């Protein structure tokens, strides 16, 4: 009876933890930042939205198969629904300038413009980044203000590889001009070196601008605000740790322990340095896209020092947000994407949904910049994978840990840590089959081959490690976590921290650590003090 009660209590505690985790993960999404909060004279809103394939009905030869008339059910009615759905989102945002990507061409953009006019939202000015060499989709812009000096900047990837042009244009607001650069960089089907080339193309153009030019860089960069902490684990690092957004566009400082550039530091930084507006939001609220359970931020609005001075146009501090339309743009905690279904081997459109990305928005003001004293910057200055900075205690970030599957939650937690302020909590519902829950690529900081970490929690847990290019070695609780060639899953209930020492056998200074879970049981594992 006592054992049964303990088991029931454990399940109740786990359920409460899971509810808390879900609420922490979902709460920010259902409450978009209200634009009314920032209403003041001489302000205007700039937004960005990846429309997830806004195609017209003409066959040009480059369309994806499901967007070719006569191949799928991409007909007049379905195409109209797609345009109207995207128009409803833009109309609800009410932004003055809307940058876009995944728009097929000028014709598709004009159809969207017409749908907005029928809703009472007039955008008389438009532009696309279409170039002589066609791409499947392009960058685009709708504006209530006049546009000048429109151009598409080609991005050369080398060989026959190509990507979308960067759209450059000036927005004319009475006597002032604000330059916009709309981006859609290569997807993560490609390694980081492809995005580096896009970033270098943009940076070269930015450095040509006269000093103190007021501009905004925005778009789908296909990399996260903290890309340098995670891209190795995701397997995208072919650039020796250098990232496009963090290092080329300089949203982090250099040095042994890099840290994010803060608003208060921009004036002291060299040209080409940027502040990423995601840093205005708490860590748990940074999301415009979800991949395998990971909250991701491929979409960005980056600002230079010129928008933080006392002249011309300035950023309206803490006005940035991801727009959810009071939750309508979400389904199951993810962006409510345009829906498809398979019929035999044919991909059909249902006419429901919007996009797999959330829109972003920020407000600007004609006048001097003023810090919002009601809320300080929420990011610590130094964030690094370096053991010298964080020592595996998750004090300043999740240190490159990622979810391996949907339905897994990774959060920094302050409850019962082994040491310091934070531990890492990895949790999820019972799974239908044995699978990976989370993983990280760890960099060796000492001269020993043992990987040490502390864990506690419950579930059917197993660990495995492998050096770069090597084979997996499993560590299972039933046999005392000794090295094994296969996984076995026994349910554990560790109320207190248990220190583990795993033999790595790695000689090159990097190792992949993976937390695996057995089917049929929910899991909630805390990890802390990871040292190698």
Summarize pLDDT for 126-174 with one digit per residue, the tens.
999 998 778 899 999 999 999 999 999 999 998 777 799 999 999 999 8
- Distance between first and last Cα of the chain: 43
Residue among 234, 232, 229, 235 nearest 252 (CA)? 229
Question: How much is the mean pLDDT over the chain?
Answer: 87
CA 471 remoteness from chain centre: 30
d(CA 255, CA 261): 13
CB 135: neighbour CB atoms within 10 A?
18
**Does residue 256 surpass a pLDDT of 80?**
no
Residue among 193, 196, 312 nearest 245 (CA)? 196
Tens-digit pLDDT profile for residues 411-437 = 888 888 988 888 999 999 999 999 999
d(CA 37, CA 48): 20
pLDDT number for residue 14? 41
pLDDT number for residue 507? 61
CA angle 204-207-211, nearest 5°?
165
What is the average per-residue pLDDT within 352-359? 98
pLDDT band at residue 42 using 50, 70 and 90 as cut-offs? confident
What is the average per-residue pLDDT within 89-104? 98
d(CA 69, CA 201): 35
pLDDT number for residue 41? 65
Tally helices (H) and strands (E) across the chain.
6, 29
Tell me how long the chain is. Answer: 532
pLDDT band at residue 376 using 50, 70 and 90 as cut-offs? low
Which phi and psi (to 5°) does residue 121 adopt?
-105, 110
Which phi and psi (to 5°) does residue 416 adopt?
60, 50
Sequence-separated contacts (24+) of 307-311 with Cβ below 8 Å: 307/214, 307/216, 307/364, 307/369, 308/263, 308/266, 308/267, 308/275, 308/369, 309/212, 309/267, 309/368, 309/369, 310/368, 310/369, 311/212, 311/368
pLDDT number for residue 258? 72
Residue among 403, 220, 288, 298 nearest 29 (CA)? 288
For the chain, how long is the longest CA-to-CA vector? Answer: 79
Query: Which residues, at least 6 apart from 144, have a Cβ–Cβ distance to it below 8 Å?
Result: 96, 97, 122, 123, 124, 125
Name the DSSP class of 307: G
Tens-digit pLDDT profile for residues 386-400 = 333 344 678 767 778
Q: Is the dihedral of CA 39, 42, 48, 51 positive or negative?
A: positive
């Amino acid at each position: 009876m006592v054992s049964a009660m303990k088991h029931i209590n454990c399940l109740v505690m786990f359920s409460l933890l899971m509810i808390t985790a879900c609420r922490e993960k979902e709460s920010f999404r259902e409450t978009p930042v209200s634009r009314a909060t920032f209403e003041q004279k001489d302000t205007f809103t700039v937004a960005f939205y990846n429309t997830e394939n806004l195609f017209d009905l003409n066959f040009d030869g480059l369309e994806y198969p499901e967007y070719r008339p006569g191949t799928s059910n991409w007909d007049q009615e379905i195409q109209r629904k797609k345009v109207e759905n995207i128009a409803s989102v833009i109309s609800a945002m009410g932004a003055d300038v809307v940058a876009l990507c995944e728009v097929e061409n000028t014709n598709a953009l004009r159809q969207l413009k017409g749908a907005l006019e029928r809703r009472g939202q007039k955008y008389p000015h438009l532009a696309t980044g279409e170039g002589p060499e066609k791409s499947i989709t392009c960058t685009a812009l709708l504006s209530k203000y006049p546009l000048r000096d429109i151009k598409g900047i080609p991005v050369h990837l080398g060989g026959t590889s190509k990507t979308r042009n960067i759209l450059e244009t000036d927005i004319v607001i009475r006597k002032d001009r604000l330059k916009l650069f709309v981006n859609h960089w290569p997807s993560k089907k490609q390694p980081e070196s492809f995005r580096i080339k896009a970033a270098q193309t943009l940076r070269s153009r930015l450095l040509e601008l006269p000093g103190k030019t007021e501009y905004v860089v925005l778009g789908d960069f296909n990399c996260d605000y903290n890309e340098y902490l995670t891209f190795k684990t995701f397997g995208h690092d072919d650039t020796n740790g250098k990232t496009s957004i963090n290092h080329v566009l300089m949203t982090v400082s250099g040095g042994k322990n890099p840290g994010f550039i803060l608003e208060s530091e921009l004036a002291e930084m060299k040209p080409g340095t940027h502040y990423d507006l995601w840093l205005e939001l708490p860590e748990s609220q940074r999301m415009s896209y979800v991949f395998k359970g990971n909250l991701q931020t491929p979409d960005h609005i980056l600002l230079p020092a010129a928008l933080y001075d006392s002249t011309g146009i300035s950023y309206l501090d803490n006005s940035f947000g991801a727009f959810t339309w009071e939750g309508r743009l979400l389904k199951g905690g993810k962006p409510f994407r345009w829906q498809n279904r398979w019929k035999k081997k044919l991909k059909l459109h249902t006419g429901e949904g919007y996009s797999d990305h959330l829109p972003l928005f920020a407000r600007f003001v004609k006048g001097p910049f003023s810090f919002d004293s009601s809320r300080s910057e929420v990011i610590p200055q130094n964030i690094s994978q370096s053991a010298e900075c964080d020592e595996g205690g998750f004090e300043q970030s999740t240190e490159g840990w990622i979810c391996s599957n949907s339905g897994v939650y990774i959060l920094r937690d302050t409850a019962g840590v082994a040491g310091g302020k934070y531990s890492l909590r990895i949790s999820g519902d019972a799974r239908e089959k044995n699978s990976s829950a989370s993983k990280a690529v760890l960099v060796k900081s000492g001269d020993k081959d043992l990987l040490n970490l502390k864990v506690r929690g419950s579930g059917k847990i197993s660990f495995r490690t492998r050096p770069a290019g090597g084979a997996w070695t499993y560590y299972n609780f039933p046999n005392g976590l000794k090295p094994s060639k296969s996984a076995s899953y026994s349910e554990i209930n560790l109320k207190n921290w248990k220190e583990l020492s795993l033999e790595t056998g790695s000689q090159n200074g990097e190792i992949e650590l993976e937390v695996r879970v057995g089917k049929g049981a929910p899991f909630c594992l805390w990890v802390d003090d990871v040292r190698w």
